């Protein structure tokens, strides 16, 4: 009898998730402060949203490398938990933001995965990057009118699509070509899924 383990994590998967989550937490903690200072220094309200894609870079990269449902969500939750412990600039709110980032990354990645790896990662990065906009607007309404909130969301989505989608795709391809990691079931040259037997 053949037993499928499609929806379960292997030890290698968990190690990959943990490592990427830790790297993401370190990067995002400092990026948060840098983005906040940049917005304050320049007086440009959308300045910090330009970096939003970098916050979800590691979550989307996890989805591409692990290629298992729930891997992005798990990475995002662990990432933001570590950010909270390191002293995130938004405090405890980083926890629900991380949860929503993970959920939106999964929602964007898997439905679009049939179209290829690039569309899946771009959509996952874009949606995941607007998580804090949605959460803060619904909870505190800090962006004012809906039109203003949408403009912030548009910039965050664009940043996520580029820095959180295309950027991690390029990184994943480089890692695979270097033999460091393997995108299971993916043909990196075309971004199309293939049926490849797991090693």
The SS3 assignment for 178 reads coil
Distance CA 112, CA 177 (A): 24
- Give CATH for domain 11-193: 1.10.1760
Q: Which two tokens stand for residue 34?
A: 């840098």
Element (H, E) at 55: helix 52-66
What's the pLDDT tens digit per position in 47-60? 678 889 999 999 99
What's the pLDDT tens digit per position in 19-28? 999 999 999 9
Q: Would residue 116 be called left, alpha or beta, if left means φ above 0 and alpha means ψ between -120 and 50 degrees?
A: left
Does the CA dihedral 191-192-193-198 come out positive or negative?
Answer: negative
pLDDT for the residue numbered 41: 72
Q: Rounded to the nearest 5 degrees, what angle is found at the Cα of 121, between the Cα atoms of 8 and 113?
A: 60
Query: Is the predicted pLDDT of residue 109 greater than 50, yes or no?
Result: yes
């Amino acid at each position: 009898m053949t037993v499928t383990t499609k929806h379960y994590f292997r030890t290698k998967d968990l190690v990959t998730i943990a490592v990427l989550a830790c790297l993401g937490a370190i990067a995002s903690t400092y990026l948060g402060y840098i983005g906040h200072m940049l917005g304050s220094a320049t007086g440009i309200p959308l300045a910090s949203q330009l970096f939003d894609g970098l916050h979800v870079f590691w979550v989307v990269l996890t989805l591409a490398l692990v290629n298992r449902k729930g891997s992005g969500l798990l990475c995002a939750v662990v990432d933001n938990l570590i950010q909270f412990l390191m002293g995130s600039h938004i405090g405890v709110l980083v926890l629900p933001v991380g949860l929503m980032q993970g959920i939106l990354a999964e929602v964007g990645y898997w439905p679009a995965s049939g179209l290829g790896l690039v569309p899946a990662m771009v959509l996952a990065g874009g949606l995941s990057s607007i998580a804090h906009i949605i959460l803060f607007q619904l909870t505190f309404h800090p962006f004012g009118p809906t039109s203003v909130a949408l403009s912030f969301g548009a910039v965050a989505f664009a940043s996520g699509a580029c820095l959180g989608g295309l950027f991690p795709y390029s990184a994943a391809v480089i890692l695979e070509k270097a033999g460091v990691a393997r995108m299971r079931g993916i043909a990196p040259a075309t971004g199309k899924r293939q049926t490849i037997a797991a090693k």
